Amino acid sequence: MARRSQGTKLHLAVLCLVVSCHAIGLSDLMERASQRSDKLHSLSTSLTKDLDSHFPPMGRVMMPRPSMCHTSSLQTPKDKEQALKVSENELISLARSLLLAWNDPLLLLSSEAPTLPHPSNGDISSKIRELQDYSKSLGDGLDIMVNKMGPSSQYISSIPFKGGDLGNDKTSRLINFHFLMSCFRRDSHKIDSFLKVLRCRATKMRPETC
């Protein structure tokens, strides 16, 4: 019942965002998007900590390198200093491309979470659904933003996801689930950073305060 109530509230928030955002300024849209991206990154960090609490001893050794994340092919700024040199149109394009690239992986994680061999799989499953909700909400908000910014900001890079399952044995499932979540956490941090830079520019804040 609590889950349904929470989902209803978020659904209403999404409706409010979609209906009202057309009537508000770009700086306010940036602020709302930044708040949602911050929540997205916070949730992914919480999920990573949950998974760390019951991780196989050899998991760190066996887990694929970050360069194996399916989004690694997308060229992005490596830090805030580089992001500050990137145009608004490119930053919003990168954020949307990363967000879109996680639609299918989040569906996979959502389907695997309920039976994940982890004592907190119920909480993990609930948080994955929240990630999907916030990702959808943020994506809807960014779509509205680019419509206000013009055609040059609407380009999205297509990033294919080839993973179809997490493996058959318990160790493989835990490691691959954790790997995907670590990739998402990395990308959610990038999305949050890019949107915060955009928010700073929209509100004319000094770059060093972003």
What are the pLDDT digits (tens) for 165-199? 888 888 889 999 999 999 999 999 999 999 999 88
33 within some domain: yes
Query: Is a pLDDT exceeding 80 seen at residue 22?
Result: no
10 within some domain: no
CA distance 107 to 206: 39
Supply φ then ψ for residue 157, to 5 degrees.
-80, 135
Span of 39-53, 81-95, 142-156, 194-208 with lowest mean pLDDT: 194-208
168 within some domain: yes
CA distance 162 to 179: 14
- Domains in the chain, number: 1
- 8 Å CB contact between 194 and 95: yes
83 within some domain: yes
CA distance 86 to 92: 10
The CATH number linked to 70 is 1.20.1250.10
Query: Is a pLDDT exceeding 90 seen at residue 122?
Result: yes
CA distance 176 to 199: 34
116 within some domain: yes
72 within some domain: yes
pTM of the model: 0.84
pLDDT (tens digit per residue) in 39-72? 999 999 999 999 988 887 777 778 888 889 999 9
Q: What is the pLDDT of residue 112?
A: 95
14 within some domain: no
50 within some domain: yes
Measured in whole angstroms, the distance separating CA 43 from the mean position of its chain's CA atoms is 9
User: Residue 82's domain spans which residues?
Assistant: 22-207
